[in-house]
Structure 1
């Protein structure tokens, strides 16, 4: 069994359902400490974070990942026990195999090989792991980034191991992510009998035109490789369940995925202005998941494009699609961020898996990036 397969299996066997690390980070810390890394454990609340560094000064290259996983879902639907790694027909099955214990294991192997071959490499290479990526994302990288900002911790480049590939390892290079902003809207009316609408105020009727305006608005035309900003209403609820009662309140959930044309504060102000223009009596609670980030052309994108072309056999698609990742907390520190990882077709699904051939190549991919970006002189 190869080093990367063995370590991935060890990690999958630890039932690290968010935010429980279940011993993954101590296992990794022991290996990296033996390889000469300085280790710092940063625990906040019930969340474990690991910061491992080798070298000094700049440039600072960080490999970013998470050890937590989502719950397995219905156990009876799995072909095997989700926390017992199983190899079958060229695939490794287990919760976290693709998202993202395979990448984390590959990070560790690549780092060990890199510092063994280049003990006096220029700059600093680091690994940052959290057990709070799949959950609330409050006491994980978001909190660590606050600590780093207070310390003045420099980060030049960040490579996140999220499963980004579509069909073949390396066929997609993620060079940014949209921002995510969620809202909980409560529109107040006056409850009453449907036969006497003049004695009530129906919040559904009042809110409908405003919601239509929000949904129909074209916020922008996109930004470089970003699609246009999108607002999606995800939940609407009102009423007592009776068909003869005008509801007293309407609750609406909606989300905006936005590009760098916007920031959260400006979007909040625009949405609130639309609601006020319709004369609504409302409360609006916002949750800022993360601002958009975008890595421009430079050494990081150039190195990644070169490496991925070798692994995929063609130039990678460069994308800002998908949801969010913890890189959204590192980018505001001034870091350029990209995401590279295995095929994402099975993530969060029953029978999550990764191709063994891809898993075996992942350490080589990350090692190639380390060598191009922190190439020793001579």
Structure 2
């Protein structure tokens, strides 16, 4: 198989049914593409009690610096209702100029293009002026416990260091060249349980409705705004994502009420300062409010979700300018440098080296009939190839 063809690379990857946490043949395929190019390929399986084992891949060519890493994931989300797809989700069929398949844009397409780009670079220039590596996980769409974070720890323990990284997530909202992600907001989640006293809805004085208390607490979480945004980030935003009493009876005041929330926060905050602010708001709201006149303070428990994602911003000019310049050279567009969107595995990589994200157009990711324009695969490959040349020229100058 000729690794220089991104369309063939992607078709082969899509045909690997690698729904998290299954390897599905995707890592074996990558190994077969990278080994003939001169990469030393290792596959490690990460484990942790209570979570499925996950196989990951690390491949490197070269032994000297500078060292450029490409990171991504071969695992994909489930297909949902397969009958709703107009083309089989693991067939990689092409119709109307698009290739259909789960993972086409998120993010087997990015991997296929970067493999093609480095294959073309080697074909044209020989081995890179330093080193290049692929850090590929099978756990990005899952709990992200046995994936990138453990693969990085494993590689670092072997003495691996990196000077820069590109993550091939689908960053472009409408067209290739729209956007490079140079950072991400943090993410923090929690779960509130308000304790009341169960009773008959006709005799509220004999009970204590926890829903009233929960409304006070959730209102305090959502108002006022946490901040007005910063130069590089939009305002922090908290959303209540679930509310429940577990009560099916309309004439019974429930004994407890629960709510979950998630906040995406900017660089005004750290996870620690944000936790303190949320607790302050909850405690203040618990002691006051018009919904529970002549009642004692709301009794509540707060449990934080494990492993918050920390906000970060990449300021590495060599990395950003090399990629921006490559995008402009190939597409004629000046990409927007953005920190919008959710979290990605870049949140782990930023602790090891400067990292940015750039990949395909993400409009159909996780959807039925996920698909990518075939011409975009060639364009992204040329962007990556141009970036590789520019980055190494800059890094060794």
Which category of TM-score, normalised to the shorter sequence, fits these structures?
A: over 0.9
- Bigger mean CA deviation after superposition, 203-212 or 126-135: 203-212
| Partner Cα separation in structure 1 for residue 327 and residue 127 of structure 2 | 26
Aligned equivalent of 2:363 = 345
Aligned equivalent of 2:302 = 284
Deviation of 1:133 after TM superposition, in Å, equals: 0.6
Aligned equivalent of 1:157 = 164
Deviation of 1:265 after TM superposition, in Å, equals: 2.1
| Partner Cα separation in structure 2 for residue 189 and residue 148 of structure 1 | 50
Does structure 1 residue 248 correspond to structure 2 residue 255? yes
* Aligned mate of 2:217, from 198, 210, 229: 210
Contact 1:17 1:68 in 2 (8 A): yes
Deviation of 1:129 after TM superposition, in Å, equals: 0.5
* Aligned mate of 1:25, from 14, 24, 27: 27
Does structure 1 residue 306 correspond to structure 2 residue 325? yes
Contact 1:171 1:312 in 2 (8 A): no
Deviation of 1:325 after TM superposition, in Å, equals: 0.8
SS where residue 219 of structure 1 aligns?
A: coil
Aligned equivalent of 1:180 = 187
Deviations 1:93-135 (CA, angstroms, capped at 9, x unpaired): 1111111111111111122222344445333211110111111
Aligned equivalent of 1:37 = 39
Does structure 1 residue 52 correspond to structure 2 residue 59? yes
Does structure 1 residue 65 correspond to structure 2 residue 67? no
Aligned equivalent of 1:259 = 266
Does structure 1 residue 364 correspond to structure 2 residue 382? yes
Contact 1:8 1:105 in 2 (8 A): yes
Aligned equivalent of 2:152 = 145
Contact 1:52 1:126 in 2 (8 A): yes
* Aligned mate of 2:235, from 206, 225, 228: 228
Does structure 1 residue 129 correspond to structure 2 residue 131? no
| Partner Cα separation in structure 1 for residue 166 and residue 20 of structure 2 | 22
Say if 1:351 and 1:289 are closer, same or farther in 2 by CA, change over 3 A: farther
| Partner Cα separation in structure 2 for residue 153 and residue 269 of structure 1 | 37
Does structure 1 residue 295 correspond to structure 2 residue 295? no
| Partner Cα separation in structure 2 for residue 256 and residue 292 of structure 1 | 12
Contact 1:239 1:248 in 2 (8 A): no
| Partner Cα separation in structure 2 for residue 283 and residue 308 of structure 1 | 49
| Partner Cα separation in structure 2 for residue 57 and residue 220 of structure 1 | 45
Contact 2:169 2:357 in 1 (8 A): yes
SS where residue 351 of structure 2 aligns?
A: helix
Deviation of 1:208 after TM superposition, in Å, equals: 1.5
| Partner Cα separation in structure 1 for residue 258 and residue 330 of structure 2 | 49
Does structure 1 residue 354 correspond to structure 2 residue 372? yes
| Partner Cα separation in structure 2 for residue 243 and residue 105 of structure 1 | 55
Does structure 1 residue 322 correspond to structure 2 residue 329? no
Aligned length: 377
| Partner Cα separation in structure 2 for residue 186 and residue 149 of structure 1 | 41
Deviations 1:71-106 (CA, angstroms, capped at 9, x unpaired): 111112110111111111111111111111111111
Does structure 1 residue 101 correspond to structure 2 residue 108? yes
| Partner Cα separation in structure 1 for residue 235 and residue 316 of structure 2 | 21
Gaps in structure 2 of 5+ consecutive residues: 48-52, 287-296
Deviation of 1:254 after TM superposition, in Å, equals: 0.6
TM-score (norm 1): 0.94
Deviation of 1:20 after TM superposition, in Å, equals: 0.8
| Partner Cα separation in structure 2 for residue 147 and residue 349 of structure 1 | 33
Aligned equivalent of 2:293 = none
- Bigger mean CA deviation after superposition, 260-269 or 134-143: 260-269
Deviation of 1:217 after TM superposition, in Å, equals: 2.5
| Partner Cα separation in structure 1 for residue 81 and residue 31 of structure 2 | 32
Say if 1:116 and 1:212 are closer, same or farther in 2 by CA, change over 3 A: same
Aligned equivalent of 1:5 = 7
Deviation of 1:289 after TM superposition, in Å, equals: 4.3
Deviations 1:140-189 (CA, angstroms, capped at 9, x unpaired): 01222333454553222110111111222112111111111111211111
| Partner Cα separation in structure 1 for residue 156 and residue 190 of structure 2 | 28
Deviation of 1:356 after TM superposition, in Å, equals: 0.6
Query: What is the alpha-carbon root mean square deviation over aligned residues?
Result: 1.9
Contact 1:173 1:319 in 2 (8 A): yes
Deviations 1:218-237 (CA, angstroms, capped at 9, x unpaired): 21221222101100011111
| Partner Cα separation in structure 2 for residue 203 and residue 296 of structure 1 | 47
